[in-house]
Chain A
Amino acid sequence: MAAIPDRFSRLAALKLTRGAALRPEKAVLRAPDQEDVLVQILGAGVARNHFGEHLAIRNWYSTPEYMEPSAVAIDLLSRTRDESIAGKTRTVLEDPEKWLFLDTETTGLAGGTGTYAFLVGLAWWDAGGLQVEQFLMRDFNEEYSLLQELASHVQERPVLVTFNGKSFDWPLLENRFAMTRSVAAPKLTAHLDLLHPARALWKLRLGSVRLVELERRVLDARRLGWHRDDDVESALIPQHYFDYLRGGPAEPLVGIVRHNQMDLRGLAALFGKINAMLSESAGILDECESLDLFGLSRFLQRRGDNARAQSACAQALAIGLPADVRPRAQRELALMAKRRGEYDRAAEIWEEMIVDSPDDVHACEQLAIYYERHGKDIPRAMEYAKLGVAKLKRHRTASLRGLRDPYFVARCARQENDFKERLARLERKAQPSSPAQHRGAPEAAEPKASRALW
């Protein structure tokens, strides 16, 4: 008891916060034959280049089947709002031989220079099916050779297709390349990230657009004979790898490699599905659920294809949408019509909305505007404005009784105020009284009114 505590007992302060699954790093030297175990159970080969070696795992799958990317789909997926694509890029982009699906498994999600991609999975179409090639580093000193291998594959196929790779996988790999100071990050001709299209298309229906979820409910994995019954939980992947580094079992790595294979196949299949939907190939839209159609409409609208967006939206409404989504679809559809100058068509939809959803204020506002400017029916415009005010008042009292959301209350107040201003203006229009007022008032009100109107 009398010993002076080791100064390093202060290191007790570093106690790991995470579970006890850690293996102490003590002279962890795997016997050479154990390395062979990993090669064997993964069915891997040792890949070598002048930086050293790493493991490579090759597999060919008949599903998903090759799907020719349609020009329409490429256009929609690759277009960022104001970017026009150079002709040369387009040629590469339209050549499926140049496409490379990519997904990584990493030592964490934090990003930054201390997160490693220890498994890099690549896939491309080959012989009507999917060729998958994965690179695994058995330890950190195999990273350079792995990156070198990755670089040469990307150079060969410079169109990258990923799921959330634009904000996660690729920047992380770019970091890794930068950290080597010797292997340059390859230049991409294009990077198609399917996360955003997938979110636009299916978030409404599925709530979550995790790849596993999409596989199950959009890609119909069961029909393809895919299963993830013994899948590794994503959150445990870094820990499995750290354990392996410290001399732990190799078996969990098999699960991780398979997980990555499934993700790559899912990614390729997802592309097929999105490709089909965007190019409206043979009746696919007729099989679509109405929510997906509305999602498609929103995606098309965002990418500037208004004509198809409108028809998809109309189709979704025709099939029938759940009560909570229907008003949103109507509203979008009406606004699209309005933007195209089809005011009467838009007004029809708004009238429908008022019948369908008694609480909707937006339609009242739009109709008041419509009748003031286009219908030239001041009394009706006033009627709708008054209806809007009444609805807002009801909203506010209801909100005051229940949860007090100050932003909601403030918004209601603002809208109410707008309605009242509009009413006052309409009133003046309805009964022009003394000539003096007639001259003065409307002119003064005009600039403000025009802003509030459209």
Chain B
Amino acid sequence: MPDSLAVRRAGVSNAITRVHEVLDAFAERDHRGEILTTLRHFPAREAQWADFPSWVNANLVSAYNAKGVCRLYTHQAAAAEAVHAGKNVVIVTPTASGKTLCYNLPVLNAVLENSDARALYLFPTKALAQDQLAELHDLNQRLENCFGVFTYDGDTPADARKSIREKGHVVLTNPDMLHTGILPHHTRWTRLFENLRYIVLDELHTYRGVFGSHLCNVLRRLRRIARFYGREPQFICCSATIANPGKLASRLLEAEVEVLDSNGAPAAEKTFVFYNPPVVNRALGIRRSYINESARVAQEFLKHDLQTIVFANSRLHTEILLTYLQQANPRLPGKAETIRGYRGGYLPNERREIERGLRDGKIRGVVSTSALELGIDVGSLDTVVMAGYPGTIAATWQRAGRAGRRSGSSCAVLVASSAPLDQFMVRHPDYFFGRTPEHAFIQPDNLEILINHLKCAAFELPIAPDEKFGDVDLPDLCARLAEAGFLHLAGANYHWTHEAYPADTISLRSVTSDNFVIVDITGQPNVIGEIDFPSALVFVHEKAIYLHGGLQYHVEHLDFKERKAYVKRVYVDYYTDAVRYTQVRVLEVAASESFTSAASLTSFTSRSHGDVLVRSQVVGFKKIKFFTNENIGDGKLELPENEMHTTSYWITLERPLLESLPFSVSERQSGMFGLLHALESVATLLLMCDRRDLGTAVGERPPAPGSENDSIVAMRMEDAVSANAPEFFVPNLYLYDAYPGGIGFSEPLFRAHDLLMKTRELIAYCECKQGCPSCVGPAGDLAPRAKEAALAILDRLCA
């Protein structure tokens, strides 16, 4: 591997030499070539220029000139022209390629030409809106403050809101505020809606899955209100590189969208390194902590005076890494701290100060969550260290893009954790570098989501029978909502007839808006955290030991009605593990296909997708001693059953296939669970989704779809792999959408022909002997041959 470090050193700047020194140092330590698994160079790219279009207002051109922008990149000019031609556009370019100009230029031009014109900007976070506000203020000053630009979000003081509604030419907000604060009060925004020309959607790729499905419906409502005021606004979207930006945009906007994806911005030379922490126990597949290794890599860069950004995947890890790096780089007396943290919980002013410090170089290192991944302007840094794979290829490139705008050269290091995805990535660099990034899916017609927004729409404006709202039978839905007491037909229109304000109870972000608060009642009652509904049943049921911030709490009482869990601080040597049964019943098969390759055995082994009913219940718990993992007691629980209709992808394993496996029943079954674990890992990779968005279960295939049958067996993995476990006759392995109604993952999974191949690679290339958390997951701990069995099943499926 060190051979690949044959880097060209001629005629390079200082920073490059220093980057190479650091890389060489790593390579020297890596005797077996296992640590630096990949090292790729990307040459620098020249900028491609274009002139300002002739129709752009002269004052605007001189304002940009004064900022140092005298020419446009080709993609900026192309975007401006397309918008000028009245098209909806989506601009797809990497981080730091000047995409804000793509929308600010046409929008401000419109405002300068007609001072009535209005535009609404939507950003996924408040911080991004703040950042854009600063940029627009700067432009405005150069234009003698001729337009009004404001942010409108939860932080906007009440007394400022009125004037924003009247005077804001450009209003910067977020989807949540649009949903609860603007649309239900559209009559106060008459001025804006009557003149609404443009809607800007930045960071479009963040609107996927549940959030994206909600946003699509919010946009339906927005267009509906705009139409009420006689406007059909034009959309300008920006997205990071994903595989299907055009499709995502046209799905979200439900209109034709022109995709502009040729990037004219220059790029510095870049080195991309995959770093796998060294193995400390080969048999168990245990590696050195990736957090410590990330700190070490970052410290090496900092020592060579390279400005570095470290990305962590959680707030906790941000704080840990920050502590390590601050200890290694103590503050000099009388000087400001040179290593800073940056994450959601920090106050706006502090964040602005950090961003400034990064731009002017006073801050040498910053440890951040994904907060800095999106388009906040912090200038360019020399190196990026990612502690753990960010979860998607797109996000990884976004983060890597933080390095190297002006220094001439840069380096991005991905330090892998032992999670399956991370290990898969570092072992299959071609998958990462060769592949187009992930697809983003949304399912706006998910009935549960759609109905919630239909209620909001009715609140905002009575619904006329000939309206369109998604791909559903609107009159029928309205009639049903009327029957449920939400709407009332008066004259020709359905009106809202409920006291409640529907938008208030619908959250765009979380899967369910229902959550439990955890109250520590050791002393004065004190809220220490919150937990979503499904997790609450597992983690804070009565008598559970709840771990929070490294401390143990005993759950005294779970108040279902008030959605509160009361806990008390305890010191015990055990933890609890909830015993949960999950049962999946197939309601309707949408499509099914046999594995023809397995023809030697049977043609009944198949994969399918369709509608399912998922029932899960926590029926008890086990007390497990720390370190020894002995079971030291059980408890029964009577908790409500959770039932949800959703969509699922599943694999059916026929009897002959199972019987052909040279394993015992329990080994075979541990193999199934191991396979399912690996399938889930790969599915999240292919779908660009969070692991929590998918659920898994193994169950007996019922004789016919839809029929109730007593023989449906739901088994927990722990039971299925025990020595005298009952045997599945013809099991189904389910991967279902963990959102009521389904969010559209099942069909893409069904169509993803490389799902099984990738899963096989993941397990086969894992260095462990008998299965580890990086491949087959906990099944590997419970049964000795889980990994082998899983591979054997896959071999037969993929043969």
Residues of A at the B interface (CB closer than 8 Å) are 1-5, 7-11, 13-17, 22-26, 107-114, 116, 139-141, 174-175, 178-179, 181, 238-239, 242, 245-246
Contacts and interface: CB of A to CB of B under 8 A. Distances in A.
Of listed A24, A114, A238, residue having the most chain B CB within 10 A: A114
B490 A179 contact: no
B459 interface: yes
Contacts of A14: 451, 481, 484, 486
A1 B587 CA distance: 12
B483 interface: yes
Nearest to A7: B447
Interface string B65-93: 00000000000000000000000000000
Given A4-B588, A16-B484, A245-B488, A113 B448 contact: no
B228 to A, nearest CB: 8
A358 B2 CA distance: 83
Given A141-B490, A178-B190, A179-B187, A25 B448 contact: no
Contacts of B185: 111-113, 175
Contacts of A238: 499
B488 A246 contact: yes
Given A25-B489, A140-B488, A4 B497 contact: no
Given A11-B484, A25-B488, A140-B490, A110 B706 contact: no
B741 A110 contact: no
B500 interface: yes
B478 to A, nearest CB: 11
Contact of A140 (B190, B448, B480, B491): B491
Contacts of A246: 485, 488
14 contacts: A8-B480, A17-B500, A25-B488, A107-B497, A108-B498, A108-B500, A110-B504, A113-B187, A114-B501, A141-B490, A178-B187, A179-B461, A181-B228, A245-B488
B706 A113 contact: no
Contact of B496 (A10, A114, A174, A178): A114
Nearest to A235: B499
B600 interface: no
Interface residues of B, number: 46
B439 interface: no
Given A107-B499, A140-B493, A246-B488, 9 more contacts: A14-B484, A16-B484, A24-B485, A112-B184, A114-B184, A114-B496, A114-B501, A114-B502, A175-B187
B483 A13 contact: no
B113 interface: no
A16 B485 contact: yes
B499 A13 contact: no
Contacts of A239: 499
B485 A2 contact: no
A141 B708 CA distance: 48
B485 A25 contact: yes
B462 interface: yes
B186 interface: yes
A6 to B, nearest CB: 10
B520 interface: no
Contacts of A108: 498-501
A191 to B, nearest CB: 16
A139 B490 CA distance: 6
Given A238-B499, A246-B488, A25 B186 contact: no
A87 B29 CA distance: 89
A242 B497 contact: yes
A143 to B, nearest CB: 9
Of listed B462, B498, B645, residue having the most chain A CB within 10 A: B498
B707 interface: yes
B499 A245 contact: no
Given A2-B707, A110-B499, A242-B488, A10 B187 contact: no
A4 B708 CA distance: 10
B495 interface: yes
Contacts of B487: 25
A1 B486 CA distance: 30
B365 to A, nearest CB: 35
B186 A113 contact: yes
B460 A113 contact: yes
Contacts of B188: 175
A109 B448 contact: no
A11 B448 CA distance: 8
Of listed A15, A16, A140, A174, residue having the most chain B CB within 10 A: A140
Contact of A174 (B187, B613, B706): B187
A340 B504 CA distance: 51
Contact of A1 (B493, B708, B740): B708
A391 to B, nearest CB: 27
A103 B706 CA distance: 57
A110 B501 CA distance: 6
Interface in B439-471: 447-448, 451, 458-462
Contact of A24 (B483, B504, B740): B483
A7 B741 CA distance: 10
Contacts of B707: 2
A44 B500 CA distance: 30
Nearest 6 pairs between A and B by C-beta?
Answer: A114-B459, A141-B491, A140-B490, A108-B499, A178-B187, A110-B501
A112 B459 contact: yes
Given A11-B480, A140-B490, A109 B588 contact: no
B187 A13 contact: no
Of listed B187, B458, B490, B708, residue having the most chain A CB within 10 A: B187
A405 to B, nearest CB: 12
A338 B511 CA distance: 60
Contacts of A175: 185, 187-188
B460 A114 contact: yes
A10 B501 contact: no
B501 A112 contact: yes
B500 A10 contact: no
A5 B499 contact: no
Nearest to B186: A113
A14 B481 CA distance: 9
B469 to A, nearest CB: 16
Contacts of B741: 10
B533 to A, nearest CB: 13
B63 interface: no
B482 interface: yes
A373 to B, nearest CB: 37
B483 A26 contact: yes
A181 B190 CA distance: 10
A13 B459 contact: no
Contacts of B588: 4
A246 B487 CA distance: 10
A339 to B, nearest CB: 27
Contact of B587 (A5, A8, A110): A5
Contacts of A111: 185, 501
A238 B498 CA distance: 8
Contacts of A22: 485
Nearest to B704: A2
Contacts of A174: 187
A251 B13 CA distance: 88
B485 A140 contact: no
A112 B184 CA distance: 5
Interface string B174-218: 000000000011111010000000000000000000000000000
Contacts of A10: 447-448, 645, 740-741
A54 to B, nearest CB: 12
Interface string B770-785: 0000000000000000
Nearest to B456: A114
A2 B184 contact: no
B461 to A, nearest CB: 7
A25 B495 CA distance: 13
Contacts of B491: 139-141
Contacts of B485: 16, 22-25, 242, 246
A245 B496 CA distance: 12
A107 B488 CA distance: 13
Contacts of B459: 112-114
